[in-house]
Amino acid sequence: MIEKTVAELSAALAAGEISSVELTQAYLDRIAHYNKTLNAYITVCNDSALAQAKAADAARAKGDTSPLLGIPLAHKDIFCTTGVRTTCGSRMLNNFIAPYDATVVERFNAAGAVMLGKTNMDEFAMGSSNETSYFGPVRNPWDTEKVPGGSSGGSAAAVAADLCAMATGTDTGGSIRQPAAFCGITGFKPSYGRVSRWGMIAFASSLDQAGPICKSAEDAALMMNVMAGLDEKDSTSIDLPVEDYTATLNDSLEGLRIGIPRQHFAEGLSPEVEQSIRDGLAVFEKLGATIKEIDLPNNHLSVSAYYVVAPAEASANLSRYDGVRYGYRCEDPVDLEDMYKRTRSEGFGAEVKRRIMVGTYALSAGFYDAYYRKAQRIRRLIKNDFSSAFKEVDVIIGPTSPHTAFGLGAKSDPVAMYLEDIYTIAVNLAGLPGMSIPAGLPGGMPTGMHIVGNDFAEAKLLNVAHQFQLNTDWHTRRPAALGKEA
């Protein structure tokens, strides 16, 4: 049962084939068995999960038919949860227990979903491999010597290994889509403002967005129906009506105009990944779509612009961790300055410190115009590139990542790691929706197809992905073995 999609589990629960308590227990047993190997969860909530499951079963008995009622999920440990610690993958927040739930968490609770636990992640969501976590790396369930991607690597590994039915993630530059690609599952990053950021620990506020990590586009639609919508507590949340994202999943793709960016099929792309994506494009052609090459001429500037904007915002957001207000405080400080310095030196890991230094530098007087303002101008050019492209096409398709998952420890150079997001980062800079769906298994490892839409075209993306999944079976493939230690 635990290998099923959310849509299937929802039907099984409704038909009384299984109870939420039984389902929850099955996931908890599997977590107890495999989490030692995968390290996908930082915190597992055995007792509260079973209590929530019991409540869900009772609500169902009284006639509640909410689609996610009783479905076990995992939250990335960046979402604040009342009474359960929220670490953000950092020593700084090792013991932090939030006094409130993030809006995303609150909405899943209200929908009756069961929280199994909190998933591992790169520290403060900074990374592409899950290796910057204070709690150790997550391993890829397809090959435990490889990374699951990041920063939402714990959520992606947990979904791929059936350690939950669905999970939440966040994506600032690719952190939902790239781990989804590496773990052979579906990851969805909504348009900026579509899902509330309230209670989601801030990394780069103008780029961060929460979204679903799950087994199918249909499941992503079910999750988006719960997650999306205006939240008065988040001033960047958009006041647009929330569609029923499941309602248009079966729309025909006849006449769909697909753009493939030349810049995403250029040097650096693995030939096997390219072949998987081209095979996938042929599926769309059979469904009546037309394909044309397009240009995103400023794409090559996106990583550089991001690594000014994101660290700049991070340096401001992370200034709040001072040993006074939240989390870690160093032992026996001699004075205030010593406390600030040692708390931050000991509480943050190397990558986070690197970002704070870069960001502080980029924002300092005399450098602001040279770096920050210039990066913001590039951001506008990138947005304009997409706007021109969407005059000619409905969706843009390419690879999510230039290659499949790499080995643990294989990328020690920070810039090599930054280049991981070469196809995904521009989408965050432009605030657009994007998703990754499984598209092949070159060399036995999953590869992801990246689908990007215009502002608030969530329903269109989910429709396109669902039609692909009705005509292919890559999304149903699961890792055969979980490694020797399991």
Considering only 113, 238, 273, 310, the residue that binds ligand GLN (CB under 6 A) is 310
20, 151, 401, 436: the active-site residue: 151
Q: Does 77 bind ligand GLN (CB under 6 A)?
A: no
Length of the chain: 486
Considering only 90, 128, 191, 436, the residue that binds ligand GLN (CB under 6 A) is 128
* Residue 431 backbone class (left: φ over 0; alpha: ψ -120 to 50; beta: rest): left
Residues 226-240 as b/e (b if ≥16 CB within 10 A, e otherwise) read bbbbebeebeebbee
Q: How far apart are CA 113 and CA 74, in angstroms?
A: 10
128, 133, 175, 315: the active-site residue: 175
Q: Does 302 bind ligand GLN (CB under 6 A)?
A: no
User: Which one, 300 or 341, has the nearer CB to ligand GLN?
Assistant: 300
Q: What single DSSP character describes residue 369?
A: I
Minimum CB separation from ligand GLN for residue 125, in Å? Answer: 4
User: Which one, 28 or 102, has the nearer CB to ligand GLN?
Assistant: 102
Please indicate whether residue 76 is annotated as part of the active site.
yes
10, 19, 20, 76: the active-site residue: 76
User: Which one, 74 or 253, has the nearer CB to ligand GLN?
Assistant: 74
Please check whether residue 301 is in contact with residue 342, taking contact to mean a CB–CB distance below 8 angstroms.
no
User: Which one, 71 or 432, has the nearer CB to ligand GLN?
Assistant: 432
User: Which one, 276 or 428, has the nearer CB to ligand GLN?
Assistant: 428
Q: Which of residues 230-289 bind ligand GLN (CB under 6 A)?
A: none
H helices of 94-166, where?
103-110, 153-160
Minimum CB separation from ligand GLN for residue 118, in Å? Answer: 16
Considering only 42, 74, 125, 183, the residue that binds ligand GLN (CB under 6 A) is 125
Q: Does 137 bind ligand GLN (CB under 6 A)?
A: no
Q: Which of residues 188-207 bind ligand GLN (CB under 6 A)?
A: 203
Q: Does 421 bind ligand GLN (CB under 6 A)?
A: yes
Choose the binding region for ligand GLN from 29-37, 126-134, 252-260, 295-303 (rule: CB under 6 A).
126-134
Minimum CB separation from ligand GLN for residue 171, in Å? Answer: 5
HEC sequence for 181-198:
HHHCCEEEECCCCCECCC
Please indicate whether residue 151 is annotated as part of the active site.
yes
Amino acid at 1: M
Angle at 106 between CA 196 and CA 166, to 5 degrees: 85
Binding mask of the shown chain, residues 147 to 176, with x at each position contacting ligand GLN by CB under 6 A: ----x-------------------xxxxx-
Contacts by residues 9-18 (CB-CB < 8 Å, ≥ 24 positions apart): 9/71, 9/165, 10/67, 10/68, 10/69, 10/71, 10/222, 13/60, 13/69, 13/70, 13/71, 14/60, 14/65
The tokens for 451 are 């689908």
Please check whether residue 408 is in contact with residue 130, taking contact to mean a CB–CB distance below 8 angstroms.
no
Choose the binding region for ligand GLN from 106-114, 121-129, 251-259, 262-270 (rule: CB under 6 A).
121-129
Amino acid at 261: P
Q: What is the largest CA-CA distance in the chain?
A: 71
Can you give the binding site for ligand GLN, defined by CB under 6 A? Answer: 125-128, 151, 171-175, 203, 310, 421
Residues designated as active site: 76, 151, 175
